[in-house]
Amino acid sequence: MVARWFNTAGPCNPNNHYMIPASARLPTVPGLVARNGYFVVHAPRQTGKTTTLRALAAELTDSGRYAALLTSCEPGRAWGDDVGEATRAILQKLRDDAEDALPPELVPPPWPEAADGALLGTSLRAWSRACPRPVVLFLDEIDALEGRTLISALGQLRSGATNRPSRFPASIALCGLRDLRDYKIASGGNPNRLGGPSPFNIIVESLRLGNFTLDEVWELYGQHTTATGQKFTTTAVNRAFELTGGQPWLVNALADEIVRKLEVPPSAQITAAHVDKAKERLVLARATHLDSLVDKLNDPRVRAIIEPMLAGTVPVEDPLDDDLQYVRDLGLIAVDAPVRISNPIYSEVVVRVLTDRVLQFTPDAPPPRAFVLPDGRMDFARLLAEFAEFWKANGDILVSRQVYHEAAPHLVLQAYLQRVINGGGTVLREYGVGRGRLDLLVRWPHPTLGNPQAEQRQAIEIKARAAGDPDPIAQGLLQLDGYLDRLDLDTGTLALFDRRPTAPAIHDRTSISPTTSPAGRTITLFRG
């Protein structure tokens, strides 16, 4: 058998790729199919949706009970509101996929003639009547369709469902990025918004394909160990899960980076240090998946959620539930509360993307080694002092260039930290949405005698003062105490940025001084 590998491009094939079984990722689908259910499967890009659905279709067909097929509505995208041409493009794709995936006796007959607005339903009816088994259809990329074409397709599926299973597909799954139950576009509403009723109101369930669990990451990486003998240490697997949140493409990409590009030999164990190095390379390379994700950052619906989150504030106007759900469906933010970026890798990429454009024409920070003391610790006091000088020289112009204006100081400080850390450590972010704060934890490996996993930790809380706000120092120190309590740290840094139009000039207001928190901790206070 040919050696398998970690796949980062296109659907997985069990003969070639390490993969989690489809039945484990969507275990309820066979039961829904058995009940002739119509349902929705939605998931962000690059989560393994196509791989999982293709495998499920093959399993259902191989059972001998169904003619199950995965096909895509993507060919209909180019035809916009031309219902007839879009439908013909989809039906041609369906036929091609059926001829590739199904036994000849299950392939659809020639499509009948019909009016444009009835062509999809008539064709599916003809296939179902001719097929010796109940037809099960997974319609992937359904959200590639818009306007009249989407309304027509959903309407025909709904109308035909009353004739299942002998004269229409017994079970249909609509598969896409978003939960199509809520598409207002499908009922003639604003095509850029979610919410409101759907004409496809006969679904029995909506399934979201989630990220890998920690056990599934172990299983995936364990397949490589079984095949090659190369082991992942416990800390390596835990670190990969921590950085990715189980996002399937990232989990595979980290392992591929380590095994194939870093060329860690099979005789060597894969460690957390390898994972960290692979993460840094992925972030810097900005692979296609990451680029396509951050391309959404200038979308007004995305900015309405991400910008105040980065600043730790709440929107001037409460975000509509559909905006929040849209950003969740993109995979940018976590599916559960509190609102936060989905995983540390996405978080770092977002910060870099939003700051690269304004930092690329400014002087670089001193080289990372300049901030490392002889004993290997990070010289955090020098780092903060160098940032103060950088802020005095560049702060005003960097803020004026930043598209995410509300979060500009937060982003500049994070970008500066990230450049200094530069793969030697990590910056973890905790967004205090509605509390006017952003908490950062800088982790710097600093092995001590008998503890190679030891690290230096520095906590920073960032707050901004807008026009009309009182001085936030008292609230900030109290909040920082709470953050330090959770981290079990004795000291930290409070960074306050004055955004008021009446604030003193940046050279006059930027300073570093010691202060004391309500809990009696010595705190470094940065004002900028």
Q: Work out the burial of residue 212: count CB atoms within 10 Å of its CB; fewer than 13 is exposed, 13-18 middle, 19 or more buried.
A: buried
3-class state of residue 266 by DSSP: coil
Distance of CA 291 to the CA centre of its chain: 11
Return d(Cα 293, Cα 282) in angstroms, integer: 14
- Spatial distance between the Cα atoms of 458 and 451, rounded to a whole number of angstroms: 19
Per-residue model confidence (pLDDT) at position 506: 95
- pLDDT value of position 164: 92
CB count within 10 Å of CB 195 equals: 16
The pLDDT of residue 398 is: 81
For the chain, domains (ranges, CATH) are: 22-208 (3.40.50.300), 214-285 (1.10.8.60), 297-527 (no CATH)
Beta-carbon contacts of 389 under 8 Å, excluding residues fewer than 6 positions away, are none
473: how many CB neighbours lie within 10 A of its CB?
16
DSSP sequence for 67-130:
EEEEEESGGGGGGTT-HHHHHHHHHHHHHHHHHHHS-GGGS--PPPP--GGGHHHHHHHHHHHH
Q: Which long-range contacts (CB under 8 A, 24 or more apart) does 97-103 make?
A: 97/69, 97/70, 97/71, 97/72, 98/69, 98/71, 101/57, 101/58, 101/61, 101/69, 101/70, 102/61, 102/67, 102/69, 103/61
- Burial of 257 (C-beta count, 10 Å sphere; 0-12/13-18/19+): buried
Q: How far is CA 12 from the centre of its chain?
A: 19
* pLDDT tens digit at each of 528 positions of the chain: 458 999 988 888 888 999 998 878 899 999 999 999 999 898 888 888 888 999 999 999 999 999 999 999 999 999 988 999 999 999 999 999 999 999 999 999 999 999 999 999 999 999 999 999 999 999 999 988 888 898 899 889 989 999 999 999 999 999 987 765 554 444 344 444 434 334 456 667 888 888 999 999 999 999 999 999 999 999 999 999 999 999 999 999 999 999 999 989 999 999 998 998 999 888 888 766 777 777 788 888 888 888 888 887 766 555 556 788 888 888 888 888 778 889 989 988 888 788 776 566 556 667 778 888 888 889 999 999 999 999 998 888 888 877 788 888 988 898 888 878 876 788 888 876 667 788 999 989 887 767 777 889 999 999 999 888 899 999 999 999 999 999 999 999 999 999 999 999 999 999 999 999 999 999 999 999
Predicted TM-score (pTM) of the model is 0.82
Residues 245 and 232: their CA atoms lie apart, in Å, by 17
pLDDT at 186: 44
